[in-house]
Amino acid sequence: MMAIAPSAEARQVYNMMVMRADDYDGQLHLTLANSIELSCTLRRRGADSQAMTAVEELREAEWISPVADGGWRVG
């Protein structure tokens, strides 16, 4: 059986990013402030190490990409 990529955990983090992202000219952008807030939320849930792996998976799958202000382009 082939693994689904990104993993279920990474897709969950992605969905959390989408919920916090703002629309800028038709593209979703997760600001640095919202990225930090998401990181804090995940840390409180005990999922901070999982989040780092999830971010790597999402970057490899090209679901997210970094932007100059320290946030993320989502989608």
Range 8-74: architecture per CATH: Orthogonal Bundle (1.10)
Angle at 60 between CA 55 and CA 61, to 5 degrees: 95
Q: Quick: pLDDT tens for 46-73.
A: 876 667 788 899 999 999 999 998 899 9
Task: Determine the Cα–Cα distance for residues 46 and 42; give it in Å rounded to an integer.
Answer: 6
Task: Determine the Cα–Cα distance for residues 28 and 46; give it in Å rounded to an integer.
Answer: 26
Q: Looking at residue 75, what is its pLDDT?
A: 87
Confidence tier at 3 by pLDDT (50, 70, 90): low
Amino acid identity for residue 44 in this structure: R
Q: Looking at residue 39, what is its pLDDT?
A: 87
Q: Quick: pLDDT tens for 22-44.
A: 998 899 999 999 999 998 888 88
Burial class (CB in 10 A: 0-12, 13-18, 19+), 47: middle
Q: Which residues pair with 22 in a beta bridge?
A: 29
Task: Determine the Cα–Cα distance for residues 15 and 6; give it in Å rounded to an integer.
Answer: 12
Structural domain spans, the chain: 8-74
